[in-house]
Amino acid sequence: MLSIDLKARHTLLENKLAELQKRVEELRIKENTEFMEEDLEESAAHASDTELEEAMLREELKLLHDIKNAIRRIDEGKYGYCQVCGQPIPVKRLDALPWAELCVKDQQESEKHHYHEVAT
């Protein structure tokens, strides 16, 4: 049994979700505004900035997805348990990453598998 205040964790995740949604919207507005205001020369000069902002947006969207899934797991009574092995995720890990869905061992395996897919 996990010794986590799920109501407090749900509130924390909801607040983080709202904050991220605001940042994603700001990035999208900024991206659209800059695109409309730039001519071709300015567009070429800002290409690296745009790539960085797009990467940031992708990361923010992934985190939004992860947080929504964590909230769903709380609602379903599955929060705090590894989605692969079913074992409890250590509270310290959940404190650091409240949206974690894998235990450390399975997270490492997932990252190793992903690394091998990217490398080949």
All domains in the chain, ordered by first residue: 6-119 (1.20.120.910)
> pLDDT per position in the chain (120 positions), as tens?
467 899 999 999 999 999 999 988 887 787 666 555 555 566 666 566 677 778 888 999 999 999 999 999 999 999 999 999 999 999 999 999 999 999 999 999 999 887 767 666
Q: Are 80 and 94 in contact (CB under 8 A)?
A: yes
Q: Are 74 and 8 in contact (CB under 8 A)?
A: no
Query: Residue 6: CB partners within 8 Å, gap ≥ 6?
Result: 74, 79
**Phi, psi angles (nearest 5°) of residue 56:** -60, -45
pTM for the full predicted model: 0.76
Closest CA to 76 of 19, 10, 20: 10
